[in-house]
Amino acid sequence: MNKLDINARGVYLIAVTPFAEDGSLDLASTDRMVDFYLERGANGLTILGIMGEATKLTAEESRTFTRQVLKRVNGRVPVVVGASSAGFAPMKELTQSVMDMGASGVMIAPASSVRTDEQILAYFDMVNETLGPDVPWVLQDHPVSTGVKMSNSVVLSILKNSLNCVMLKHEDCPGLGKLSAIRAASERGEVKRVAILTGNGGGLFLPEELSRGADGAMTGFVYPEMMVGVCNAHAAGDTERAHDIFDAYLPLARYEQQPVAGLAVRKHILAARGAIASAAVRRPGPKLSAADIADIDRLTRRQIKRLKELGLE
């Protein structure tokens, strides 16, 4: 009843996986984090993604964490689970397991071994067969992490071939032209209109993406109120307001989007905001220096000041 469908929209938070200082799963913080995201207006959650340190979890930990999130969310918003895998048997096992627990759908990126258009299309035919007729899924288009570059026509072919692909997580960069092209194709009736949520650079192009037809954002920036505010202003037709809000958060968002180091920044601020108990990242992972923390403090102070000027805090 809470299955993901093509009408999804708004802000889906890419959740972190909270750990205690000793690196064990922190289930109490998991609950707090869910509350934190939902209180700030999240329309959905996405767990076990790259920024969720999914590959660092055992299969059992993945299930435990998913169960905890689903229990806390309790059906209030859809929960999407990352299920990309180097093999279809593990993909199927994880998918069945989380769907049985009540997940709303899974998110799948292509395996890094595929390269040509033919290989990509064949891969997603196998994905469709693996997931079966009952599991809605999100196509993740993120060349930076997969190494797989999907052209506009390939994405459209996947959408045509995949009855249960209900959403595109758009993270190609540059990606504005691709977004425009995919929307134009559905407007011409060439392909069904799926939901498109964007995560390009952690949301660093959100106002422009909404103007191109995105339905929202799926990203993990540590201030969900930014994405929520931008989407609301855009929905209200106030594009300038959307940009004002975006620009106020941009200096910190940019800092949080540094490759590798970004996750430590995110968890540091989540801990500072009380959403999780510890900023611990499992190894191998980034650590913040005193100078990094000083940068974050300065950017946070400046952000508060700017939000006040805009009447937003």
Residues that bind a second copy (CB under 8 A): 53, 55-61, 85-90, 93, 111, 113-119, 122-123, 126, 149-151, 153-154, 173-174, 176-177, 180, 204-205, 208, 211-212, 239-240, 243, 246-247, 250-251, 254-255, 258-262, 282-284, 286, 289, 291-292, 295, 298, 302, 306
CB of 139 to a second copy, least distance (A): 16
- End-to-end CA distance of the chain: give it in Å, rounded: 37
**Residue 104: which of 93, 117, 113, 95 has the closest Cα?**
95
**278 near 18, Cβ under 8 Å?**
yes
> In whole angstroms, how close is the CB of 295 to a second copy at the nearest point?
5
The CA distances from residue 80 to 15, 211, 263, 308, in Å, are: 10, 25, 20, 34
Name the minimum Å distance from CB 136 to a second copy: 22
Instruction: Return the DSSP state at 10.
Output: E
141: helix, coil or strand? Answer: strand
Amino acid, res. 170: H
Residue number with CB closer to a second copy (181 or 277)? 181
Shortest gap between Cβ of 224 and a second copy (angstroms)? 20
Q: Could you tell me what percentage of the chain is helix, strand and coil, using 3-state DSSP and rounding each to the nearest 5?
A: 50, 10, 35
Smallest distance from a second copy to CB 10, Å: 23
Closest distance of CB 177 from a second copy, Å: 6
What CA–CA distance (Å, rounded) separates 90 from 62?
A: 12
CB of 82 to a second copy, least distance (A): 13
| Exposure string for 96-130, b = 16+ CB within 10 A, e = fewer | bbbbeebbbbbbbbbbeebeeeeebbebbeebbeb
How would you classify residue 25: left for phi > 0, otherwise alpha for psi between -120 and 50, otherwise beta?
A: beta
Q: Which residue's CB is nearer to a second copy, number 6 or number 310?
A: 310
Q: Which is nearer to a second copy, 41 or 251 (CB)?
A: 251
1 vs 291, beta carbon nearer a second copy: 291
Q: Are 269 and 262 in contact (CB under 8 A)?
A: no
**CB of residue 260 to a second copy, shortest distance in Å:** 6
- Nearest CA to 195 among 177, 178, 208, 214? 214
| CB closer to a second copy out of 1 and 260 | 260
By C-beta, is 38 or 159 nearer to a second copy?
A: 159
The structure tokens listed for 221 are: 């920036």
Q: Closest CB to a second copy among 77 and 263?
A: 263
Which lies closer to a second copy via its Cβ, residue 1 or residue 284?
284
CB of 187 vs a second copy, minimal distance in Å: 14
CA distance to 239, 252, 256, per residue, from 28 (Å): 39, 27, 25
- Nearer to a second copy by Cβ, of 8 and 131: the residue is 131
Residue showing tokens 């067969």: 129
